[in-house]
Amino acid sequence: MSTITHHAPDALLAAYASGNLPHSFALVIAAHVSLCPECRVALAAHQAVGGTVLNASAPVDLSEGLKSRVLAQLDAPQGPEPTYQRSSIFPGSIMAALKGKPPRWKSLGMGVRQSLLSADKSGSARLLYIPPGRAVPDHSHNGLELTLVLQGSFSDATGTFGVGDLEVADEDLDHQPIADPGRPCICLAATDAPLRFNAFLPRLLQPLFGI
């Protein structure tokens, strides 16, 4: 039986099913769904609805030569697609982002570390390592932040988040996540805009860390 209590919102699952999530958010949702049976069922429902809508849509004329171009691409030589197996901590989607290698941790201070997985104009995704009892600097948000727990747990003003739990934070949430006692907390975090740190030092160092 799953112990996950914080799930992906329906709107994010629908956007993921339709392919409309930025890469960083899609990575988080893919990892969460791999851990959460309830959200897997919900995602399958969205995918079924999407298929029904496509089947009911009116046909659209294809551009001239499209068939030939598609067939040419099918005949082009293709190398084998790499496959990545889940590790003891990281789901397959994260292992793919890591290209099967261990995270390259960089210190953020006070024992907290990060490993950047992706960054582009649509947002960024990173792994965070937070020792027990350590806190991430208190901050609010300029956009959306998704945080998925992969090991250990953390707590903030909204509750406690354990393995598989997903926290969705927007501009209305000002919080300071603190890793709970026990194992270090490892999270996958994705944002579509820089965080708003409340203290001066984190704001000063923010451009160096790309958060």
Helices (H) and strands (E) counted in the chain, each on its own, are 6, 11
Is residue 114 scored above 90 in pLDDT? yes
> pLDDT at position 72, please?
77
Average pLDDT over residues 99-127: 94
Contact 145, 172 (CB under 8 A): no
Query: Could you give the number of structural domains in the chain?
Result: 1
CATH number at residue 89: 2.60.120.10
Q: What is the pTM assigned to this prediction?
A: 0.84
Average pLDDT over residues 50-56: 59
pLDDT band at 1 (very low <50, low <70, confident <90, very high): very low
Q: Where in the chain does DSSP place strands (E)?
A: 106-109, 112-120, 123-130, 139-141, 145-151, 154-156, 159-161, 166-169, 178-179, 185-191, 195-197
Is residue 42 scored above 80 in pLDDT? yes
Range of the domain at 63: 1-211
Average pLDDT over residues 190-202: 85
